[in-house]
C-alpha cells in the first residue's frame, strides 16, 4: 500500500495536448475515482501512472520512489482493464497464477496467494472453471484476482464495469466497495459514470478538457461544485441553470431576480460576487418543489413518474425550463399550471468564467 503523487504531469500525442500540468496526491489506502466525459484524459492519466504511456513532463511518485522512468513491471501497481483479457483455455486458478509462474515464484507461494485471492473474491467454488463458463461479473472478479495475487502497492481500474449490463453493473459496483473495505489498499478507478464515482470514491477527481476541474469527497463535489461543468456533470437529473436579471443585497446575501421577475433569496454573500459580467443561478431539482404556496409560476411540459418521486419539467413565463420535484403519488399532469418554491439556501451562482459561488459553510 502506498500513496501516489503526480507533479505537473503533461502528455501530448503529436501536436494534441491531452494532459496539461496535472498535480495531485492519492493517499495511501484511498479509493480515488477519475470522473469525466470521454476524451477528457482520465484513462491516459491512469495509463501514465501504470507506465503504459510515457509522460512528456513532470514527475510520478509511488510511495517513496519516483517511477516515471521505470518500466511498468517495476512500479508495484496492478492494472485491471475494461477488457478482462483472460486466457480462455485456462482455468480460473491458472489465469490467476500465470503471471506469478512467469516470474518463477515458488509453487507453494503461488498456491497460497491464489487461494487467498479466491477466498477474498468468493471464487473458491469456481476455481477450476474456464472463463467461458463464467458470467461477466465472475470474469471481472477473476481479472481482479489476477491483480491481487501480485500483492501490488496500488490497483488501477480502467472502466472495469462498462461491459456489464445494468443489473450486474450495480451488483459488481457494491462488490468493489466491499473489496476495498476488506483490503484497505490504494485504488484508482476511471469511469464516466457518476453513480459509480459517488458510490465508490473516498474522493473524486473531476476532469474536463485535459485538466482537473475539482478534487473532493462525493458530497463536496455534489453540494459545492467548483465550476459550472462540475455542477452540470454530477447529478441526475442535471442542475437547473437560469439567467440572472438582477442581484440585490439583502442583509449581505444575494437576492436574485430572474427574467420572469420572480425573486429568490440565496445564502451567498454579495461581497464575494464579481460586479462585472452576467451571473447564472444554479439549483438542483430536489431544491425546487411543486408547491401550491410557491412564488414562481409556470406550466408543466413533461412529467416523469419515478415511483418514490415525480419530476416535473416546468416552463416559466420567460420560456426557460426548470426541473422540479413532487411527491411520488403526484397528480400533476402535462399542461397543468404549476407553482414552485425554491430553496435558495442551496443555490449557487456562476460567473461569466463558469466559476461557482456557493453559500458559506
Q: Is the peptide bond before 237 cis (omega within 30 degrees of 0)?
A: yes
* Whether pLDDT at 328 is above 70: yes
CATH for 240-357, among 3.40.50.300, 3.40.50.150, 3.30.70.20, 2.40.50.140? Answer: 2.40.50.140
Strands 280-283 and 288-290 turn out to be unpaired
Closest CA to 11 of 69, 73, 74, 56: 56
Q: Is pLDDT at 361 greater than 60 in this prediction?
A: no
pLDDT over 80 at 96, yes or no: yes
Residue 346 CA to residue 21 CA, distance in Å, equals: 33
For the cut 80, the answer to whether the pLDDT of residue 351 exceeds it is yes
For the cut 90, the answer to whether the pLDDT of residue 184 exceeds it is: no
Q: Can you give the pTM of this predicted structure?
A: 0.89
Task: Pick the more confident residue, 81 or 338.
Answer: 338
Q: Please, how many CA atoms are within 13 Å of residue 315, restricted to the half-sphere of its CB?
A: 8
Residues of the chain with CATH 2.40.50.140: 240-357
Q: How confident is the model at residue 150 (pLDDT cuts 50, 70, 90)?
A: confident
For the chain, residues classed under CATH 3.40.50.300 are: 4-233
Q: How confident is the model at residue 268 (pLDDT cuts 50, 70, 90)?
A: very high
Is the pLDDT assigned to residue 13 strictly greater than 60? yes
| CATH 3.40.50.300, applies to 4-233 | yes
Q: Strands, DSSP E only, in 252-336?
A: 253-257, 263-269, 280-283, 288-290, 296-305, 309-316, 321-327
Amino acid at each position: 500500500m502506498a500513496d501516489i503523487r503526480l507533479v505537473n504531469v503533461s502528455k501530448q500525442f503529436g501536436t494534441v495536448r491531452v494532459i496539461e500540468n496535472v498535480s495531485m496526491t492519492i493517499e495511501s489506502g484511498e479509493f480515488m475515482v477519475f470522473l469525466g466525459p470521454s476524451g477528457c484524459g482520465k484513462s491516459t492519466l491512469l495509463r501514465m501512472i501504470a507506465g503504459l504511456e510515457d509522460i512528456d513532463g513532470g514527475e510520478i511518485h509511488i510511495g517513496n520512489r519516483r517511477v516515471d522512468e521505470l518500466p511498468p513491471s517495476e512500479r508495484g501497481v496492478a492494472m485491471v482493464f475494461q477488457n478482462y483479457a483472460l486466457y480462455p483455455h485456462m482455468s480460473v486458478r491458472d489465469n490467476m497464477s500465470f503471471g506469478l509462474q512467469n516470474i518463477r515464484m515458488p509453487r507453494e507461494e503461488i498456491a497460497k496467494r491464489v487461494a487467498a485471492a479466491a477466498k477474498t473474491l468468493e471464487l473458491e467454488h469456481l476455481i477450476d472453471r474456464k472463463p467461458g463458463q463464467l458470467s461477466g461479473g465472475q470474469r471481472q472478479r477473476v481479472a481482479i484476482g489476477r491483480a491481487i495475487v501480485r500483492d501490488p502497492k496500488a490497483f488501477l481500474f480502467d472502466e472495469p464495469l462498462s461491459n456489464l449490463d445494468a443489473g450486474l453493473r450495480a451488483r459488481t459496483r457494491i462488490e468493489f466497495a466491499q473489496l476495498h473495505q476488506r483490503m484497505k489498499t490504494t485504488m484508482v478507478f476511471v469511469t464516466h459514470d457518476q453513480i459509480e464515482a459517488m458510490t465508490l470514491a473516498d474522493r473524486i477527481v473531476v476532469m474536463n478538457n485535459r485538466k482537473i476541474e475539482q478534487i473532493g469527497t462525493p458530497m463536496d463535489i455534489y453540494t459545492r461544485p467548483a465550476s459550472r461543468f462540475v455542477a452540470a456533470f454530477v447529478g441526475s437529473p442535471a442542475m437547473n441553470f437560469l439567467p440572472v436579471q438582477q442581484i440585490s443585497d439583502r442583509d449581505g446575501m444575494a437576492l436574485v431576480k430572474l427574467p420572469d421577475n420572480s425573486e429568490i433569496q440565496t445564502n451567498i454573500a454579495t461581497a464575494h460576487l464579481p460586479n462585472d459580467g452576467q451571473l447564472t443561478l444554479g439549483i438542483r431539482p430536489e431544491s425546487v418543489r411543486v408547491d401550491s404556496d410557491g412564488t414562481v409560476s409556470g406550466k408543466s411540459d413533461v412529467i416523469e413518474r419515478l415511483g418514490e418521486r415525480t419530476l416535473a419539467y416546468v416552463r416559466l413565463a420567460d420560456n426557460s425550463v426548470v426541473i422540479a420535484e413532487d411527491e411520488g403519488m403526484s397528480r400533476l399532469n402535462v399542461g397543468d399550471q404549476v407553482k414552485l418554491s425554491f430553496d435558495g439556501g442551496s443555490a449557487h451562482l456562476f460567473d461569466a468564467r463558469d466559476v461557482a459561488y456557493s453559500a458559506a459553510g
